[in-house]
Amino acid sequence: MLNFLFRVYTKGKMISENLAEVPPKDSYEPIMSACLFVGLKIKNLYDEERLCIKDSFSPKRVHVEGCNYRLYGSVLPLKGDFITLSNKIKQQKAHDLIGYNTLLQEHKLSCNECYFNLKPPMYPIDSQHIKKVLPEYNFKDFICFNLKASHFQSYTSTNLFLILPV
């Protein structure tokens, strides 16, 4: 009964949550050079089926070696202060959370909301800073509502990563 009410309330198709146990099936290209990433984490087939980014952001499906999830979003070249930041990160041998956050603060950035994603070579930056790398970003214009899923299932948080593969 509860499932029926949920379907009526969301007024859309439902993708089976059983897909959460199935790995993604699409092809994901490896990221081989330093870049910035704005997009979504894809952990399973459920994420892959329900999440959609508008074509105007040129979304790509990529992965980073050593990461246990895939990425779907905009891959951008390093520019400005992000080049300096990446050089400082590369110079450090250890990357503890306090040291990383201090380094980000020097560049007027933070990772207060996404620190649990810190796992080199992926360096998270709070999503409030996305417009510094993607000025045209607006969540409602970034996400498109997937025809395979209800609108409710299409929502997720957007991530910003500095990626520095070895």
At 88-125, the pLDDT tens digits run: 999 886 678 888 999 999 999 999 999 888 999 999 99
3-state DSSP helix/strand/coil % of the chain, to nearest 5: 35, 20, 45
Query: Rounded to an integer, what distance in angstroms lies between the CA atom of residue 14 and that of residue 7?
Result: 7
Apex 135 CA angle, 76 and 146, nearest 5: 75
Confidence (pLDDT) at 2: 37
Q: How many whole angstroms separate alpha carbon 146 and alpha carbon 51?
A: 7
> Once rounded to an integer, what is the mean pLDDT over residues 17-29?
77
For residue 139, pLDDT over 80 is answered with yes
Say if strands 29-30 and 60-63 run parallel, antiparallel, or are unpaired.
parallel
Cα–Cα distance measured from residue 68 to residue 65, given in angstroms and rounded to the nearest whole number: 8
Q: Is the pLDDT of residue 6 over 50?
A: no
Please give the Cα distance from 79 to 36 (Å, whole number): 9
Q: Is the confidence at residue 15, as pLDDT, over 80?
A: no
